[in-house]
Chains A and B, each alone.
Chain A
């Protein structure tokens, strides 16, 4: 394993010792590093920490590509005919929808979903002290849970072994991103990111606007082909004149079912203040027999639920990607002797992304 530039804080080294152990000459050579460079989760960062993405974002280009290609074909091949025969509003509406879809998608993909930073060594030690573990430390102790009361309902909080803390309610650990995410909904490969507290509204507006866009394009293409076939007296000839429309039809037809279904499902979730995670696990319904759905977070009013989920205040990012690492945290005295520190060279912007990817890969290797 390649030497990581990120040194894990040794949980045994509890006391904050002064900086005497650090070589003053080395300290001057380091340039101030931002916190995203030492981020322990499997994420990629762009624009010097401003944008965050999951490591596996294979399908995001496909999503963007499909949307751009379909819309492009629509504007290039269908709009001229429709503007001529119907109204100029059609490309305008299409354009607005397209921009909204792309903006929502990019916003969903590049926003921090509500990642919880991992517990510091001191916190982890404090929690360990509070939990009575009277066994040997050579095996992993049984899963730890803590029961709390939320609105008179018993909720179990689980201990996260990776992040070393009790997960707050509605928080779940995403194994793909290796982070605990607040109000975790699901990890969406199409947007290449987790969907959580901070980007759920963007995700929701993305799927709603995408439903409108696909329906709109579908309707316009059908209208176009119908009008053309009426003029030319034959569908086959109409299709031959405008083959791009068939491509759009096929893409839209297959997308509409899934997108509309997803929109409907998420509308239901928003109205009942549930997350996909909770719904799938059946956390609040059915398990307790005759008891009514005991979701302790619902406001019992559809409109309030919708407003709270979609128009609630925008919480800030907790991981402070662009903050600077304090120099004493970067190299703890206890670990300095064991590890050979790689020489710090100023990174050029061109290689920044590759370095970061290597970086995050090596840290999780």
Chain B
């Protein structure tokens, strides 16, 4: 999370936040965590559809893995019950482990794909798993150099 904030600050020096686009949850399969793969119109000329779709699909698959009701979750549940739930004080649950993987994935996606296009993904866990927030930045045209990402591609006329 510290790195993400650092990127955002970097971006804020050379670019201004134009708008935020929200990808809402998809409840067609129940209460399991899933985001809509519908491409938001505001990002039409900012990023290729396939890339965003790929990111959302990968995130969805991570959440499916986290919430899978299977052998490991039963074991965890039974162990926790047997120890009167004290085991949770020492052990990290599977869900938390997957969440860490997800935040690593989002950071990597931001660095490789989204920051060069002037976009920034916010980890859904920071928004209470309600939305996948994409912040859209635009280069102010300042001469400040940003070592982490090249902003020249962002100065397209809107």
Contacts and interface: CB of A to CB of B under 8 A. Distances in A.
Interface stretch (B22-30, B47-55, B149-157): B22-30
Contacts of A315: 67, 95
Contacts of A120: 127
Interface residues of B, number: 40
A128 interface: no
A316 B28 contact: no
Given A313-B68, A314-B76, A316-B99, 19 more contacts: A16-B17, A107-B85, A120-B127, A122-B22, A122-B133, A150-B29, A151-B29, A168-B25, A170-B31, A183-B31, A201-B77, A297-B30, A311-B69, A311-B74, A312-B67, A313-B66, A315-B67, A316-B95, A318-B128
A116 B128 contact: yes
B131 interface: yes
A169 interface: yes
B43 interface: no
B73 interface: yes
A141 interface: no
Contacts of A311: 69, 73-74, 76-78
Contacts of A117: 127-128
Interface string B114-128: 000000000001111
B27 A313 contact: no
A116 B130 contact: yes
A289 to B, nearest CB: 25
A77 B27 CA distance: 56
B35 to A, nearest CB: 12
B28 A149 contact: yes
B84 A308 contact: no
A316 B128 CA distance: 10
A314 B27 contact: no
Contacts of A316: 93, 95-96, 99, 125
B119 to A, nearest CB: 15
Interface in A131-157: 148-151, 155, 157
Interface of B: 5, 12, 16-17, 20, 22, 25, 27-31, 66-69, 73-74, 76-78, 80-81, 84-86, 88, 93-96, 99, 125-131, 133
A319 B20 contact: no
B135 to A, nearest CB: 9
A214 interface: no
Contacts of B17: 15-16
Interface string A201-229: 11001000000000000000000000000
A165 B69 contact: no
Interface in A323-349: 326
A314 B80 CA distance: 10
B79 to A, nearest CB: 10
B73 to A, nearest CB: 5
Contacts of B85: 103-104, 107, 202
A16 B16 CA distance: 8
Given A123-B22, A313-B94, A316-B125, A326 B5 contact: yes
Contact of A122 (B20, B30, B31, B95): B20
Given A122-B20, A123-B130, A319-B128, A312 B77 contact: yes
Contacts of A103: 84-86
Interface in A18-43: 18
Nearest to B20: A122
Nearest to B98: A313
B28 A148 contact: yes
Per CB-CB distance, the 7 closest pairs between chain A and chain B, nearest first, are A311-B77, A103-B84, A117-B128, A318-B128, A313-B73, A314-B93, A311-B74
A126 B129 CA distance: 16
Given A117-B128, A122-B20, A311-B78, A168 B69 contact: no
Contacts of A151: 28-30
Interface string A100-111: 100110010000
A155 B93 CA distance: 31
Contacts of A104: 84-85
A261 to B, nearest CB: 23
Contacts of B86: 103
Contacts of A320: 126
9 contacts: A107-B85, A150-B28, A312-B67, A312-B73, A313-B93, A314-B76, A314-B93, A316-B95, A319-B128
